[in-house]
Chains A and B, each alone.
Chain A
Amino acid sequence: MNRTALQTMHDQLEALAQAQDYRAAQALLKDRFMLLPEDLQGRILTMLLADALVSEARMLDGALALENESITALKALEEMRIVLGPDH
C-alpha cells in the first residue's frame, strides 16, 4: 500500500469515525489490513493487544471485587442464619 492509499484509508477512517459508523470503520480496517505494511500491522495489533489486556484487567478487578463482596455476603448470611435459629 503506497502513501496515497494509506492517506486515503486514514481519511476514510476519520470520516467514518466522525459519522460514528463504527461498523463500517471496523469492516474497512479488516478489509485493508493485510494490505498495510507489516510494521504498521504490527503497531495496530500491539495497540489492540494493549487494549485487550486493559479490558481483561478491568474484568478481573470486577471479578475480584465480586468475590470479596460475596465472602462478606456469605459471612453476613451465616450470621443471619445463626440469628434465625437452627431450622433455617
Chain B
Amino acid sequence: MHGPEAKKSTYEASRAPQALHEVLTNPRMRGLFTRYLNTLQNDTEIVRDIFETHKANGQYTQEQITFLNDHFPKFKEHFLLAEEVRYMFDTKEIEQAAKNHEPLRELLALNNGSPQILKRYMEVMAMERPEELRAILDLKRSVNEKRRSIRYKAHERMTQTILKRFKLSNTDFEELKNISNERERRQRFRELVQERVDGLQKAVGWLRGTHTERGIEHAFDTLNQFEKDEVKREIGEHLHAVADVLNGFVRGDHEFMEAIQYARIPGEGREDEGAPEELSDDERWKKNMQRIILGARDLIGDYIKGEASWAWGIASALLTEATGIYNSPNRQETKRNSKKEPKEKSAEEIGREEEKRLEKERFKNPQELYDAVGRQLRENNKKGAWKLVDEYLGLHITRKNDLKRIKSEIEGILIKQKGSSEDALQKLSEALGLFQEERESNNT
C-alpha cells in the first residue's frame, strides 16, 4: 500500500474505532468501561496506558487498538446488562420492592428515598459481577411473572370462576360491562361479590347452625361415600377458604396482598426458618433481621479486606433458596440438570389454559352458540357474530375436520360481505353439525 491509502490506514490504525471512541468520550460509558477493564487484573498496565493515551491525544498504539478490539465485544455484553438493569429496576420498581421490606425502605429513606446509589452500584455489578447481577435479574423476571399471574391472569381466572360459580346474573354482567370507569367498575364488582360473601357467610352459619344436620344428612345420603363428620368438616374448610379469598377481592388487590404476606400458607417460609406455623411474628422478624445483619457484617468485612468477592454467599443462598433458578457458581450445571426434569407449567400458562377451558365452556352446546350468533346478526353486528364464531370454532378445529374450511367461508360472509346473514347461519349450522357428528363419533 502506497500514497494516500497507506496514510489513511496508518491514521485509522492509530485511532480507536468509532464505537470505542463513543465509549471513551461518553462519561457514563467511560466510567463503566473503566470498571470493566479494571476487572481484567492481568492487564492493568495496558488499561492504565489506554486511559493515559486517551487523555493525552487519543492516538493509540497498534497493541492498544488490538486490546480494545479484543475486549470491546465483551464490554458491550456487560453494558447491555447494565442497560437491562436500568430498565428492570427503575425507581418505581425499587420502591415497589422496598414497600414490604422495612430495612431496605429505611436505608433508602436516608437518601430521601432516592435509589441512585443502589442503581449506580448495580451498573458497577454489571461490569464486575455480571453473573450475580444476572441472578438478580432472573429473580426479578420471576417475580414480575408471578405478579402478572396474580394481578391479571389469576384474578381474571378467579373473576371468571366467581362469575360462573356464583352465577352473577346477565344483568349484573351487563351492568359491569357498561361501567366504563375502571375504578367504578371494580367497585361495583366488589359490591356484587360482597353480596356473595354475605351469602357465603350465611352458608357458613347455616352449616354450623341449626340446619346443619338436615343439610349434611341430605348430602350424606346422596354422596353415600363419606363419613358424615368428614363431609361436614370438608364443607366447612372449603367455605372458610372461599370466604377468605373473596374477602381479599372485596378489600382490593393491595390489601389482599398485604393480608396474605404473613399468612401461614403451606410451603411458605425459607428452609432455615423451619415450618412457618412454628414461628410467631416476632420470631419471624428476628430471623429476617439476623439474616440481614449478618449479611451486612460480611459485606463490611469483605470490603475491609478489599476482596472482590463480596460475601455473595448469603445473597446467593437466598436466591437459590427462593427460586431454584440460580446456583452460583454452578449455574450452568443447574441449567443442564434442569433440562432433564419435565418442565413445570408456569402460572401464566395455567391461566391461559384455564381461560381457554372457560371459553370452551362458554356455550354448553352448539345451539347456544347458534342462538348467540343469531342475536348478534339480528342486531346487525356482523363483527360481533364473527368474533363468537371465530372463538368457538377456533377451539374445536383439528387437522382432521372440515371446520377450518367452513370457518373461513363464514369469515368471508361476515367480514368480507360475501353473503347474507342467512348464509352465515346456514354455514354455521353446517359447521356445528360436523362438530356434533365428530363429537358423537369420538364418544362412541
- Chain B residues lying within 8 Å of A44, measured Cβ to Cβ, are 107, 295-296, 299
- Chain B residues lying within 8 Å of A88, measured Cβ to Cβ, are 203, 206, 215
Question: Interface of chain B, helix or strand or loop or mixed?
Answer: helix
- Given A46-B118, A88-B203, also A73-B242 (CB < 8 A): yes
Q: Check A83 against B142 for contact (C-beta < 8 Å).
A: no
Q: Determine whether B385 belongs to the interface, using a CB cutoff of 8 Å to chain A.
A: no
A70 to chain B: closest CB distance in Å? Answer: 4
CA distance A64 to B260 in the complex (A): 11
Q: Check A47 against B219 for contact (C-beta < 8 Å).
A: no
CA distance A25 to B245 in the complex (A): 38
Binds A, one of B150-158, B168-176, B420-428: B150-158
Chain B positions 239-256 with a Cβ under 8 Å from a chain A Cβ: 239, 241-242, 244-245, 256
Closest to B120 in A: A42
Q: Determine whether B292 belongs to the interface, using a CB cutoff of 8 Å to chain A.
A: yes
Q: Determine whether B366 belongs to the interface, using a CB cutoff of 8 Å to chain A.
A: no
Q: Check B218 against A74 for contact (C-beta < 8 Å).
A: no
Q: Check B104 against A10 for contact (C-beta < 8 Å).
A: no
- Chain A residues lying within 8 Å of B286, measured Cβ to Cβ, are 20, 22
Q: Check A59 against B299 for contact (C-beta < 8 Å).
A: no
CA distance A39 to B303 in the complex (A): 9
Chain B positions 87-106 with a Cβ under 8 Å from a chain A Cβ: 89, 94, 97-98, 100-101, 103-104, 106
CA distance A48 to B323 in the complex (A): 16
Contact-size category for B: 35 or more
Interface 1/0 per residue, B99-121 and A, CB below 8 Å: 01101101110110001011011
Chain A positions 32-46 with a Cβ under 8 Å from a chain B Cβ: 33-34, 36-46
- Chain A residues lying within 8 Å of B408, measured Cβ to Cβ, are none
Interface 1/0 per residue, A59-72 and B, CB below 8 Å: 11111111101110
Closest to B108 in A: A45
Question: Interface of chain A, helix or strand or loop or mixed?
Answer: helix
- Given A58-B269, A67-B158, A73-B238, also A49-B118 (CB < 8 A): yes
- Given A57-B323, A58-B270, also A17-B303 (CB < 8 A): no
CA distance A36 to B107 in the complex (A): 12
- Given A17-B290, A76-B234, also A54-B319 (CB < 8 A): yes
Interface 1/0 per residue, B200-238 and A, CB below 8 Å: 000100100000000100110011000000000011011
CA distance A46 to B111 in the complex (A): 15
- Given A47-B315, A60-B146, A67-B154, also A3-B293 (CB < 8 A): no
- Given A60-B143, A62-B268, also A10-B121 (CB < 8 A): no
Which A residues lie at the B interface, using CB under 8 A?
Answer: 3, 6-7, 9-10, 13-14, 16-17, 20, 22-23, 25-26, 29-30, 33-34, 36-67, 69-71, 73-78, 80, 83-85, 88
Show 14 A/B contacts (Cβ-Cβ < 8 Å), sorted by A: A3-B304, A10-B301, A13-B293, A17-B293, A44-B299, A46-B315, A50-B139, A51-B101, A52-B101, A57-B139, A63-B150, A74-B161, A75-B165, A83-B222
A sample of 18 more A-B contacts (CB under 8 A), given A22-B290, A48-B107, A52-B100, is: A20-B290, A25-B289, A38-B120, A41-B121, A42-B120, A43-B121, A44-B295, A45-B104, A46-B118, A46-B122, A47-B295, A47-B311, A52-B101, A59-B261, A66-B265, A70-B245, A77-B165, A88-B203
